[in-house]
Amino acid sequence: MSAEKFPFDFSEFKPLPLDPTATELTADQKKTLEANIKFCRDVIVFFTAVADGKGLGGHTGGPYDIVPEAMIAYGFMLNAQQGGSHPVLPVFFDEAGHRVALQYLMAVIEGNLPAEKLLHYREFNEHLPGHPERDFTPGVKFSSGRLGHMWPYVNGVALANPDAAVFMFGSDGSQMEGNDAEAARLAVARNINVKLVIDDNDVTIAGFPSDYLRGFDVAKTLEGHGLSTNTGDGENIDELYSRMCAAVTTDGPIALINNRKMCVGIEGLEGSNHGHDVIKIKTAIDHLKKQDRAEAVKYLESVEKLPGGPSYQGSEGAGKNRALFGKFMNEILDSIPEEERVRTVRVFDCDLEGSCGLDSIRKEHPEIFVRGGIMERGNYSAAAGFGYEEGKQGIYATFSAFLEMIVSEITMARLNKSNVLAHFSHSGCDDMADNTCHFGINSFFAHNGLPEDGHDNTGLYFPADQHQFKACLNKIFKDRGLRFIFSTRSAVPDILDDDGNRFYGDDYKFETGKDEVIREGSAGYIVSFGETLYRALDAVITLKKDGLDVGLINKPTLNIYDKEMMAKLAKAKFILVAEGFNVNTGLGIRFGSELLKYGFQGKYNHIGTHKEGSGGLWQQMGYQGLDPQGISAAVRELA
């Protein structure tokens, strides 16, 4: 790869203080502002494309799009810092976390990061993850969390800074989230001096809101809460500037809604929902050639993909369960006559269809598919409502991190004895470049029913590989109640037996609540599941070679205890639970207590996700001590 030198000269960028009381740009100001916008957009295209070339992903369109309003807001901030009459809090709060590339660019512009650091966007241990995290990256002043979570928080920040205008950058997608409605009502009621700058490009991951969510209009929605709005062309610099001046110089909340196509000016991406994700390196090269960025093009042409993860003993191949969910579900749905299928099943998507396997269901069975937009809470409840009657069920899917958002809705579904099969992909921390806020590690929050008389039949399932995943789905599809099946963002290999054959062969039948002995052991056992199981199997094979006869148990049903297995494990010398879930809320904190009920007197420990992430993909597991080496070390400490 090219030498570690950033191929842009940041002296091109000219800091431009802007006085919001002067509502028109001078010719010189406009020239400088337009040059700054072009420079920043070129830089964003470049370093996000570097991440694509390395195989890391990285989301280009969002940060690229909002550069004009960000540069004007920055001008207001600089003016305020020089004693201007209208104080502006110098933070670019943003409720769309995937626009983090803009935060890193501003960190360079403000002198908190060297430009060369951008060449390592989203790499492991480089502290440039896929969402902003306060103080984790020098110059980043807030943590965005997940999409659409910032506005209520920013209301509080603005109340704590009553003399300053506070900017909050939003989007039509993030404004779908229900807590923004609550934030709007409070902002109006308290006349909070928050200035929303909303990029309305009619694009989300799964498509175009004007198509799949007819009736949704950002301006009308906010006006319905009593908020003042101002809609205009986000690419008309003169108009945008005057509108932002008016917002800053007017007391109280206001939403500036900026219409534009996504990735405007980038051939092959403009107006496409593919612009949401990272720009492909070839598209970036073609674009930057037109912008006369020869050095950036030269660098991009030299980028090489980073090496993938290691191979593992005891497993082979790869199955991406999050995508296979749709394929396996289609096989089940195909077996149901169409009239009955339409009457008894409904599938609810939360704008993540391609990431959770629902896209294949939409293509094969559009008659039962609901594109619900970015509304996780409402969509889960809708699925539960569809499954209100016996013989009917809702199917629902989103990321595991978002399970924390719908705990109350889960309780209501349980109280109503609803039937919901929910697929939560992107579980754990494996392959999660978006980092800590996207870790799906608190999934036991779904197990919040009361055990009285066995009325709660909630099931949490985390199969080990694609074959067990399929068998599990076939078994639980017609079960009553709430079922949660988990998968990872990463592909998982097939588990092998001692003879090198598939452990979960064609004749395998999934049994709810049944734990399985993957390897026997006389010294003690590791209990694991999901994406940690094959790593634990590698550790077990190595430990056995080294003379420590450790066994391995797969626990695919997470919240039901196998009495026979518990009695067996109670006699062991030690037990280690290894999981990708949070050590404070996962299986490990409860499994040891259950063992005690069976008379366990050995040594016990549990390991899992226990610290904030550090970017990267497969490296996340090792960073948490959940790779084979980390698991082996934990076993040796116990033994």
pLDDT tens digit sequence for 325-371: 999 999 999 999 999 999 999 999 999 999 999 999 999 999 999 99
Mean pLDDT computed over 15-23: 97
Q: What does the pLDDT look like over 472-504, one tens digit per residue?
A: 999 999 999 999 999 999 999 999 999 999 999
For the entire predicted model, the pTM comes to 0.95
201 near 261, Cβ under 8 Å?
yes
In the sheet where 369-371 sits, what is the strand order?
Answer: 369-371, 345-349, 393-399, 420-425, 482-486, 459-461
For the segment 409-430, the average pLDDT, to the nearest whole number, is 97
CB 54 within 8 A of CB 303: yes
Phi and psi, residue 575, nearest 5°: -130, 130
Per-residue pLDDT reduced to its tens digit, 523-549: 999 999 999 999 999 999 999 999 999
pLDDT digit string (tens) for 549-578?
999 999 999 999 999 999 999 999 999 999
How confident is the model at residue 2, as a pLDDT? 44
pLDDT on residue 3? 52
Q: Mean pLDDT across the stretch 588-592?
A: 97
What are the φ/ψ torsions at residue 393 (nearest 5 degrees)? -150, 145
The pLDDT of residue 274: 87
Return the pLDDT at 206: 84
Calculate the alpha carbon distances from 368 to 322, 392, 393, 433, 473 in Å. 20, 12, 11, 33, 18
Question: Within 13 Å and on the Cβ side, how many CA atoms surround 469?
Answer: 30
What is the pLDDT, as a whole number, of residue 406? 97
Banded pLDDT at 273 (limits 50, 70, 90) = confident
Split at pLDDT 50, 70, 90, the class of 29 is very high
Express the helix, strand and coil content of the chain in percent, nearest 5 each.
45, 15, 40
How would DSSP label each residue in 198-240? EEE-S-BTTB-HHHHSTT--HHHHHHHTT-EEEEEETT-HHHH
Q: Residue 552: left if φ>0, alpha if ψ -120 to 50, beta else—which one?
A: beta
The tally of CA atoms less than 13 A away on the side-chain side of residue 377 is: 14
The residue whose two tokens read 């094969």 is 364
> How far is the C-alpha of 206 from the C-alpha of 278, rounded, in Å?
15
pLDDT at 505 over 60: yes
The conformation of residue 255, written as its DSSP 8-state character, comes to: E
Q: How far is CA 360 from the centre of its chain?
A: 21
How many of the other CB atoms lie within 10 Å of CB of 616? 22
Please state, rounded to an integer, the average pLDDT across all residues of the chain.
96
Task: State the Cα–Cα distance between residues 491 and 602, nearest whole angstrom.
Answer: 35
Query: What DSSP character marks residue 551?
Result: E
